Copies of this chain bind each other. A is one copy, B any other.
């Protein structure tokens, strides 16, 4: 047992501060705009949805933001998470690459999402809020927020994308076990939902629609705020514990990643693992190659436009500059529900626009195949979302083999697939297929971008 398989950190080594990439980027992030005036949004405009401390984090350019003790006290129930060297996978691939993965599936909800859910519940509770409304795709975010709300004594209302709601009753049950109320989206509970249903009563939903519903509920009540599981700057900030821990763990392994790989839906797990390494590079440290892996069937980073757009389909949110397929884009009902978002985190988009990360869109069959290969070697069954990162890492490892290069590849295994076995059942039954949108469909969705000058 001379070559370790995993690197553990004691809970005393849980990071004491989050890392904010905005402090190290060569340009400031473009501000969100008021959709009516097209002027930069004043922080007050967000107060209907978020507590002041989260708004401050959203706008902050401070490099380090202290993690409150109350938040660390819950995070340490499962953090620091382990970092593994995938020696069995390396052997199966016969690759000279050194493959590492950070495993976020050890959280009680089975994914990285509780990292920000706990922080958001804490700041809202501190601000006197009684209830949080949110959306969820695969259910990973909803169950994470439900757990965090339970722990801070908040009510939790979750709008769950209908396709996931129907396919994943167990995720729904998990939210309800933690005391949340769950509604399939689009729903008749909100004006946004009713409008969609009037046009398409069979609509399978999307993250954009569910966001619109949750925002509507939160904006309409003083005691209720909104919580988002990805995309926003403060969410990405909270996820940087992943990368900060990974840096320590890579040091324990006497190694450093040449390439860091993560899957991107809204962008938070990718940013969580990648930004601390990117920050090191931007401050003159060792360079690192970043690879964002998205589904071919929802290709915001690889085929979308870097432009101002609404975050939701109902055009209720401020405009943010991001890689987007247009807010009316509703991706096909593929199985990585957590990656079904028309846009991308503004910070990840900016990093992409600056040429600081690569991006690749992968077909879902390749991702399932990679997930199964991974499970058979390492034991852990990846969530369909996480299998995109696995597939991206496998491509890198195979490239290393072809090129005869011994590089270090680190990827984020952001969640386990124990709630997603129906997707694997469908895969084995041959019911899944790849889907790439024709150019004209993407062009059509992009035609609906808001009239911001210069785009």
Taking Cβ atoms with an 8 Å cutoff, the residues of A that contact B are: 1, 4-6, 8, 10-12, 14, 69, 72-73, 76-78, 84, 88, 106-110, 114, 147, 150-151, 169-171, 173-174, 176-179, 372, 375-376, 378-381, 416, 418-419, 421-422, 424-425, 428
State which of B11, B110, B150 has its C-beta within 8 Å of the C-beta of A376: B150
A174→B381 contact, CB < 8 A: yes
CA distance A43 to B196 in the complex (A): 71
A108→B376 contact, CB < 8 A: no
What residues on B are CB-neighbors of A421 within 8 Å?
A: 169-171, 173-174, 177, 419
A69→B1 contact, CB < 8 A: yes
Q: Which of A1, A380, A419, A421 has the most chain B CB within a 10 Å cutoff?
A: A421
A173→B1 contact, CB < 8 A: no
What residues on B are CB-neighbors of A416 within 8 Å?
A: 418
A110→B6 contact, CB < 8 A: no
A selection of 20 A-B contacts at a CB cut-off of 8 Å is A1-B11, A1-B12, A1-B14, A1-B73, A1-B76, A6-B11, A6-B76, A6-B77, A8-B10, A77-B379, A107-B379, A109-B379, A150-B376, A169-B425, A171-B421, A173-B422, A173-B424, A174-B381, A177-B381, A177-B421
What residues on B are CB-neighbors of A151 within 8 Å?
A: 88, 376, 379
State which of B73, B372, B379 has its C-beta within 8 Å of the C-beta of A78: B379
CA distance A112 to B77 in the complex (A): 20
Query: Copies of this chain, how many?
Result: 2
Whether A376 contacts B178 in the complex (CB less than 8 A), given A1-B73, A1-B76, A5-B77, comes out as yes
CA distance A252 to B409 in the complex (A): 34
What residues on B are CB-neighbors of A114 within 8 Å?
A: 379
B375→A177 contact, CB < 8 A: yes
Minimum distance in angstroms from A401 CB to a CB of chain B: 22
Minimum distance in angstroms from A149 CB to a CB of chain B: 11
Minimum distance in angstroms from A278 CB to a CB of chain B: 28
- Among residues of B, the one whose C-beta sits closest to the C-beta of A9 is B8
- Among residues of B, the one whose C-beta sits closest to the C-beta of A16 is B1
B108→A379 contact, CB < 8 A: yes
A170→B422 contact, CB < 8 A: yes
CA distance A381 to B147 in the complex (A): 11
What residues on B are CB-neighbors of A425 within 8 Å?
A: 169-170, 173
CA distance A106 to B105 in the complex (A): 9
What residues on B are CB-neighbors of A76 within 8 Å?
A: 1, 5-6
A110→B177 contact, CB < 8 A: no
What residues on B are CB-neighbors of A428 within 8 Å?
A: 173, 176-177
What residues on B are CB-neighbors of A178 within 8 Å?
A: 375-376
CA distance A369 to B367 in the complex (A): 39
Minimum distance in angstroms from A326 CB to a CB of chain B: 35
